[in-house]
Amino acid sequence: MITKGYIRIKQLNRRKVEYILTPRGFSEKMRKSVRYTLKTINSIGTIKKCLHEVLKELYDQEFEKILLF
């Protein structure tokens, strides 16, 4: 991460180190966060579509009760 320029290290004392996110690191973190969020939204849409298809199929078969856990 340091060699890619995403973070800088600041030695506070012998035992403590501070990691500082650089502008390039912040940009990369933001890019990954957006990609993760879009992937999650897409997954929720896919699950919703599949659930709708299963419930419609059960409804068409005239099931009286459907329990979801």
Tens-place pLDDT, residues 8-57: 999 999 899 999 999 999 999 999 999 999 999 999 999 999 999 999 99
What span, in angstroms and rounded, lies between the C-alpha atoms of 9 and 17?
7
Cβ neighbours of residue 6 under 8 Å, at least 6 residues apart?
Answer: 21, 22, 24, 25, 28, 29
The band of 58, judged by pLDDT with boundaries at 50, 70 and 90, is very high
* Residue spans per domain, the chain: 24-69
The closest of 5, 45, 4 to 23, measured between CA atoms, is: 5
pLDDT of residue 68: 80
pTM: 0.65
Residue 1 has pLDDT above 90, yes or no: no
pLDDT of residue 3: 87
